[in-house]
């Protein structure tokens, strides 16, 4: 990277820590530290919610998905606006009016302490592990691209974030998120501009869309009903509805944000911002990936985007095999570029027959290239022993450092760091809040002074920062197990949503019913994950339904046996 780009990245890191620390003076009370004195504006909270959800994995992984698979991943978000409306009508007023610090605190008001403690513990377990992956995934990629060690990159991301979150609390998190969100969108917009202007003359955005569409990369609707397929219209609207209701409605990293607003309506407004902007924003991220594909139609693309593996294969015992694959790849990409040029020329001349023939040729070459890349990836898997290896996450960072102009490289790397830090800070704050409010203050020091609780909270934030960094370094060596860790949280989401449905859905459910239902829901999800091929998005539906059905059944039985009156 050019010194100017390093300067931009360094300036960003210093500025964001300074900006976060600047807000420390407003966080001298427990309510100020955890909830910004419930006085933050809805638009800042709305942007912060979106920034937390848009992690570095989105920036590098989703653009990579756009490159390889196109825009079909967008279907995953189709239910989000509806989930936001459901939450605005149901859970948000309950939480806001209950004057709580954590979502799980509400469960004690409605049920009992054990239900609260258990759901909070599940949150701490899943969120702390996934936080490690949130740090690890971009760190592994940036380490390869920038030539750093993984541990060094983990610390580069985690230390500044932990510092401003520890001292600034949720206000620092929210206001830095707002600025980081602006930086992320600016970075994505810059990427689109560089990609479109980098296309050969005569191919504008419309031409790029036609080329992408010809290879199926603009497919945003798949109406097939297949429970094993993650990204269909039905999984995106039905199964993902449960996931989003659970994530935005019961996950402390999200709930804590809208508890910082002044009123119920402001909390609703902050959630509805995601309803308006999440799908267009995600479409922009995927569009960058699709434009990357079109860009690499005309510019020689590397067969594998991870240089480390490429070098290892070239020097290893299977170098001849790899060289043969490279030769096939170069031939196929040259033919694909020729077909793309013919298609563009036919489109310009309005020659429908030539256009159809060129489109078919482009599709055929694309199939060939996919096959060669699959063989190369299999070679890497056999050589490294990493069974789920993929180079999707390396596509966008490789493009940034090899094709972008000086200055924009620094901006984009800073944007990736901003995406990582905005997610990490929000999650660190929520982990600290759940630890201190649901456990330390609830069971150990109920009468602790603000100063004492604040000191413990800062310690807890620092502890979770160190814990997540250790997990991140460990996860970097896990390879395929990262996916297991990442899906750890999805085992609980549906079940926790089920408990909240029982809590706000009526007065009939009992505390024991909710608790047994929660255990039954988790068991049902574990069974579905182990013994059925059902895609993990549907686990949220299975978990929530199991909790509600079993929870109500146990409640009915308990009321009959013990004659418990409705609460």
Partner 1 sequence: MAVRRRTRRRAPLVKRWCGCSPTSTGLANVERVSLPPRRGCARAARRYEPDSEEPRRSMRSSYIRVVLIWLVVLAALYVLQTSFS
Across the strands, what pairs with 40?
261
**Does 220 contact partner 1 by CB under 8 A?**
yes
**Does 196 contact partner 1 by CB under 8 A?**
no
User: Which C-beta is closer to partner 1: that of 311 or that of 450?
Assistant: 450
Q: Are 337 and 203 in contact (CB under 8 A)?
A: no
User: Which C-beta is closer to partner 1: that of 88 or that of 246?
Assistant: 88
**Does 289 contact partner 1 by CB under 8 A?**
no
Nearest to 542 by CA among 495, 503, 487, 484: 495
Stretch that binds partner 1, among 44-52, 217-225, 333-341, 350-358 (CB under 8 A): 217-225
**Does 170 contact partner 1 by CB under 8 A?**
no
Tell whether the torsion through CA atoms of 316, 317, 319 and 325 is positive or negative: negative
Among 269, 397, 513, 543, binds partner 1 (CB under 8 A): 269
**Does 204 contact partner 1 by CB under 8 A?**
no
Torsion (CA) 443, 447, 453, 457 in degrees, nearest 10: 20
Place of tokens 């206000």: 171
Place of tokens 């993902």: 240
Residue 203, judged by CB atoms within 10 A of its CB (0-12, 13-18, 19+), counts as buried
Which residues, including other chains, have CB under 8 Å from residue 214's CB and lie 6 or more apart? Answer: 343, 359, 362, 363
Q: Are 126 and 488 in contact (CB under 8 A)?
A: yes
For partner 1, the binding residues in 30-89 under the rule CB under 8 A are 37, 39, 71, 74, 78, 81-82, 84-85, 88-89
CB of 219 to partner 1, least distance (A): 6
Among 19, 265, 368, 386, binds partner 1 (CB under 8 A): 265
**Does 268 contact partner 1 by CB under 8 A?**
yes
Q: How far lies 129's CA from each of 208, 215, 360, 465, in Å?
A: 40, 37, 46, 12
Stretch that binds partner 1, among 150-158, 196-204, 209-217, 394-402 (CB under 8 A): 209-217
**Does 285 contact partner 1 by CB under 8 A?**
no
Pairwise CA distance, residues 347 & 140, whole Å: 42
The strand ranges marked E within 492-548 are: none
User: Which C-beta is closer to partner 1: that of 159 or that of 279?
Assistant: 279
Which residues, including other chains, have CB under 8 Å from residue 383's CB and lie 6 or more apart? Answer: 309, 312, 313, 316, 318
Among 7, 15, 18, 221, binds partner 1 (CB under 8 A): 221
Stretch that binds partner 1, among 152-160, 208-216, 459-467, 497-505 (CB under 8 A): 208-216
Q: Are 59 and 292 in contact (CB under 8 A)?
A: no
**Does 94 contact partner 1 by CB under 8 A?**
no
Among 25, 99, 314, 445, binds partner 1 (CB under 8 A): 99
CB of 84 to partner 1, least distance (A): 7
Residue 449, judged by CB atoms within 10 A of its CB (0-12, 13-18, 19+), counts as exposed
Stretch that binds partner 1, among 48-56, 189-197, 268-276, 349-357 (CB under 8 A): 268-276
CB of 89 to partner 1, least distance (A): 8
Among 209, 312, 354, 519, binds partner 1 (CB under 8 A): 209
**Does 24 contact partner 1 by CB under 8 A?**
no
Residue 25, judged by CB atoms within 10 A of its CB (0-12, 13-18, 19+), counts as exposed
**Does 401 contact partner 1 by CB under 8 A?**
no
**Does 212 contact partner 1 by CB under 8 A?**
yes
User: Which C-beta is closer to partner 1: that of 15 or that of 276?
Assistant: 276
Among 225, 276, 444, 527, binds partner 1 (CB under 8 A): 276
3-state secondary structure 524-535: HHHHHHHHCCCC
Stretch that binds partner 1, among 58-66, 118-126, 189-197, 265-273 (CB under 8 A): 265-273
Nearest to 345 by CA among 214, 197, 198, 207: 207
Site residues (vs partner 1, CB under 8 A): 37, 39, 71, 74, 78, 81-82, 84-85, 88-89, 97, 99, 209-210, 212-214, 216, 218-221, 262-265, 268-269, 272, 275-276, 279-280, 283
């Amino acid at each position: 990277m050019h010194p100017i780009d390093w300067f931009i990245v360094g300036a960003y890191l210093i500025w964001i820590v300074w900006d976060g620390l600047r807000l420390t003076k407003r966080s001298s009370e427990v309510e100020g530290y955890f909830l910004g004195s419930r006085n933050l504006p809805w638009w800042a909270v709305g942007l912060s919610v979106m920034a937390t959800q848009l992690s570095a994995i989105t920036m590098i992984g989703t653009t990579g998905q756009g490159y390889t698979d196109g825009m079909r991943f967008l279907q995953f978000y189709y239910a989000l606006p509806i989930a936001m409306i459901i939450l605005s009508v149901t859970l948000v007023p309950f939480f806001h009016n209950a004057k709580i610090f954590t979502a799980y605190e509400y469960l004690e008001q409605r049920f009992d302490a054990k239900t609260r403690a258990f759901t909070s513990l599940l949150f701490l377990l899943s969120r702390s592990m996934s936080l490690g992956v949130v740090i690890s995934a971009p760190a592994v990629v940036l380490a390869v691209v920038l030539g750093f060690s993984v541990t060094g990159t983990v610390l580069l991301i985690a230390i500044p974030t932990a510092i401003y979150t520890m001292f600034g609390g949720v206000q620092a998190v929210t206001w830095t998120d707002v600025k980081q969100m602006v930086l992320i969108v600016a970075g994505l917009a810059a990427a689109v501009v560089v990609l479109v202007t980098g296309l050969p003359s005569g191919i504008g955005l419309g031409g790029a869309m036609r080329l992408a569409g010809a290879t199926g990369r603009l497919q945003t609707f798949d109406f097939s009903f297949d429970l094993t397929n993650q990204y269909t219209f039905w999984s995106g609207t039905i199964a993902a509805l449960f996931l989003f209701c659970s994530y935005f409605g019961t996950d402390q990293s999200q709930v804590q944000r809208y508890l910082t607003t002044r009123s119920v309506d402001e909390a609703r407004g902050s959630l509805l911002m995601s309803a308006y902007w999440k799908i267009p924003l995600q479409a922009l991220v995927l569009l960058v990936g699709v434009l990357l594909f079109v860009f690499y139609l005309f510019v020689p693309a590397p067969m594998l985007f991870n240089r480390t593996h490429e070098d290892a294969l070239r020097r290893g015992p299977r170098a001849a095999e790899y060289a043969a694959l490279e030769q096939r790849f170069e031939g196929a990409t040259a033919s694909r570029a020729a077909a793309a040029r013919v298609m563009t020329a036919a489109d310009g001349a309005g020659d429908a027959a030539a256009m159809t023939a060129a489109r078919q040729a482009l599709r055929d070459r694309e199939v060939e290239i996919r096959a060669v890349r699959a063989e190369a990836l299999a070679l890497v898997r056999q050589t490294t022993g990493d069974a789920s290896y993929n180079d999707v996450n390396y596509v966008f960072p490789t493009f940034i450092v090899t094709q972008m102009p000086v200055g924009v490289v620094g901006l984009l790397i800073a944007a990736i760091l901003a995406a990582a830090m905005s997610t990490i800070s929000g999650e660190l704050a929520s982990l600290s809040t759940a630890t201190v409010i649901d456990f330390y203050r609830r069971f150990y020091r109920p009468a602790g002074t603000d100063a004492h609780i604040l000191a413990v909270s800062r310690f807890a934030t620092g502890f979770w920062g160190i814990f997540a960094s250790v997990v991140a370094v460990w996860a970097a060596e896990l390879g395929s197990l990262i996916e297991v860790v990442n899906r750890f949280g999805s085992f609980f989401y549906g079940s926790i949503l089920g408990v909240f449905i029982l809590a706000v859905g009526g007065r009939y459910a009992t505390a024991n019913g909710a608790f047994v239902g929660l255990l039954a829901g988790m068991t049902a999800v574990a069974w579905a994950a182990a013994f059925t091929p059902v895609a993990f998005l549907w686990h949220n539906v299975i978990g929530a339904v199991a909790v509600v059905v079993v929870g109500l059944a146990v409640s009915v039985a308990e009321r009959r046996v013990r004659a418990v009156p409705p609460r």
